Structure 1
Amino acid sequence: MIIISLRKLLKSRYCQTRGLKVASAGQTPAEYCLHLVRNNDFENFLCTLILPKILRSTAFAIRAFNTEIATIQDQITDNRYGLLRIEFWTDTLNNIYNDKPIEHPTSLELYRVMHKKKLSKYYFKRLIESRSNHINSSTFTSLQSMENYAENSVSTIYYLLLEAGEIQDIKTDHFASHLGKAHGIVTLIRSVPHNTERRIINLPQDVLMKHGISSESVLQKKSTNKLKDVIYEISTKAKQHLNKALSLQNQIKNESRIIFLPYIFIKDYLDNLEKADFDVFHPKLQERNDLLVFKLLWKKLSLQINKSSRFN
């Protein structure tokens, strides 16, 4: 059954490589959102694709909105233009909640799914504010500020997905908070090679100073022992949050478990980072592990058989 499911997933038109352009004539807003997530956030695309049908379209709309604002920083060379884009999405969000969605596919799709699911405007505003603050200052002064950013930019997505699934539970929210922090920190670590190409340092300044390493030395893309110590300390914090989340798994709502399957990719990266001796520039860490698709589908099947199936 897993082999059949895998073949269907990999042969589906949603997994075909079509380049980075996502808008095309005749594309529905739902298709636009799906392709946007696929082309920019493939791991979360896979995790969203296997969600129950009743939740899937809403989840893609949420992730598409996040992708729209998350990719702004990569598309600008002047922060002023980035803030103008942020202002556009702030106005777009307000128009959605005022029943006046603009003619943009992500806006239209989010407006459509909100007629079926009640989603808090507060969480979308939180996503926007986290990205806006990061455009103004892409440098983290401390590891704590990096954690806060992960909470606001990633945990918030999990809160929205739980809302979409009509899951209200304090323990489950607690799980989402820790998983989101782990996910966000790992995403920032993974972005180091890409960001150094753009002369952006997104590693916490207090950790860099603690280990006696300058921003300029990071830009040289040489994985010195000092830089490895920095990456070790940051990744340890991510692992602590992941382990804390997993320690709560017996207390969360069973129907929420499939929402949290991105943990598979988080754990895999942290394990591989350790195997690479915390060399963030190691070529192996830049490769996609296609075997994780098997694990993802296996976990989905396990949850279908036993809704309380453990994550690890």
Structure 2
Amino acid sequence: MMRYFSKLYKHNLLFKRSLSKDTSTNGDTLQYCANIVRQYDYENYLATLLMTKPVRSPAFVIRAFNAEVSRIQDQASDPQIAAMRHQFWQDTLSSMYKSEQHISKIPANPVAKEMFKVCVHYNLPKRYLERLVVSRRHMLTKKYYNTLEELENYAENSVSSIYYLLLCLVGVSDVHADHTASHLGKAQGITNILRSVQIASHHKSVYLPLDILMKHNVSQESVLRCLDNATMRDVVFEIASRANSHIEKARSIEVPKTAKQIFLPAVTVSYYLKKLQKTNFNIFDKTLHNSGVILPLTLYYNRVLNKF
């Protein structure tokens, strides 16, 4: 076990050293992106840390871009300020994809600067980045999902899009890999909603699909009050089962070996769903938020075997 810890620590150390070999400014902005992911998206930080060196840094940039956009909702309590910040990123994307654009014209934001470099170097499709921003922006006005399918659509736009972008980094253009990215993104997006139930309740928001709540006679008020009971667990079980089915489907598809490292976060999704099952689907159980030392080891073990 200690050997696995030392390996993971070594990956982290080598990554920091590789940044220091860049020019000072470039190294600083790359480290800034990595720190953003580590602070606000730690599980994906661990998975990205285990990617091969050539794509590790640009992968951190994409993850940092996503983190910056996704946390706007938590940063700004005023809807108008949040809308302005989303507009900033939409305008920044427009600037990135203008013909003959130069980095000097990109806003003085470290994530924006690095994102521009990655977009140019890897010719990233603009549509996936736009989906990230637009889907998050819709969350400001949309306080609930009518159906589980509607939630899946949000997960496709906000999470699967990240995997489509990461596939571009490793040069994989494969329909099977795209299908895997779609299923994994939906599984992770649904799981993220389950994990955020307690946090969302503090914001007086219920993102669990209304059709599932109504089916089991669970009110939004009971979710906001974090009431655990048999019917609430039935709701969680049905939603978690959909996420699990997407994980199983993603793993059943044969993808190019070089793409498998992209899908390593599937391990974190399964890890949470298994813990949820052990609590008998009590979404309010505090142990669900404690990943401990097992998750990093599990990620490293699967990376060594090139599995997800």
Q: Distance in 1 between matches of 2:97 and 2:15?
A: 32
Q: Tell me the CA shift for residue 80 of structure 1.
A: 2.1
1:216-227 matches, within 5 Å, as 216-227=221-232
Tell me if 1:202 matches 2:207: yes
Deviation, 1:13, is: 9.2
Superposed CA RMSD: 1.8
Look up the equivalent residue of 2:268 and give its one-letter code.
F
Q: Which stretch shows the higher mean deviation, 44-53 or 70-79? A: 70-79
Q: What is the deviation of 1:86? A: 0.8
- In the alignment, which residue of structure 1 is the partner of 2:19? none
Equivalent position of 2:62 in the other structure: 62
- Aligned equivalents of 2:132 and 2:119: distance in 1? 17
The residue aligned with 1:88 is 88
Q: Does the CA-based 8 Å contact 1:139-1:203 persist in structure 2?
A: yes
Rounded Cα–Cα distance in structure 1 between residues aligned with 2:193 and 2:14:
30
- Summarize the Cα distance change of 1:86–1:236 in structure 2 as closer, same or farther, 3 Å threshold: same
What is the SS of the residue equivalent to 2:291?
Answer: coil
* TM-score normalised by length of structure 1: 0.89
Whether the aligned pair in 2 keeps the contact of 1:118 and 1:164 (CA below 8 Å) is no
**CA-CA distance at 1:11 after TM superposition:** 7.0
Q: Are 1:61 and 1:109, in contact at CA under 8 Å, matched by a contact in 2? A: yes
Tell me, in whole angstroms, the C-alpha distance in 1 between the residues paired with 2:305 and 2:120.
Answer: 32
Q: How many residues align?
A: 293
Q: Select which of 280, 285, 291 maps to 1:282.
A: 285
What is aligned with 2:124?
Answer: 119
Report how far residue 165 of structure 1 moved: 1.1
User: Which residue, 110, 131, 136 being the options, matches 2:136?
Assistant: 131
| 2:166 partner letter | L
Contact 2:197–2:207 (CA under 8 A) maintained in structure 1? yes
| CA apart distance, 1:27 | 7.4
Counterpart for residue 148 of structure 2: 143
- Equivalent-residue separation in structure 1 for 2:304 and 2:78 (angstroms): 47
SS at match of 2:121: coil
Shift of 1:6: 2.9
**Aligned counterparts of 2:170 and 2:123: Cα–Cα separation in 1:** 10
Partner of 2:7: 5
Letter matched to residue 234 of structure 2: D
Whose helix fraction is larger, Structure 1's or Structure 2's?
A: 2
1:109 to 106, 114, 127: 114
CA contact (8 A) 2:118 2:124 kept: no
1:224-282 per-residue CA deviation (whole Å, 9 max, x = no partner) reads: 1111111111101101111111111xx21110001111011100111110110110010
Gaps of 5+ in 2: 17-24
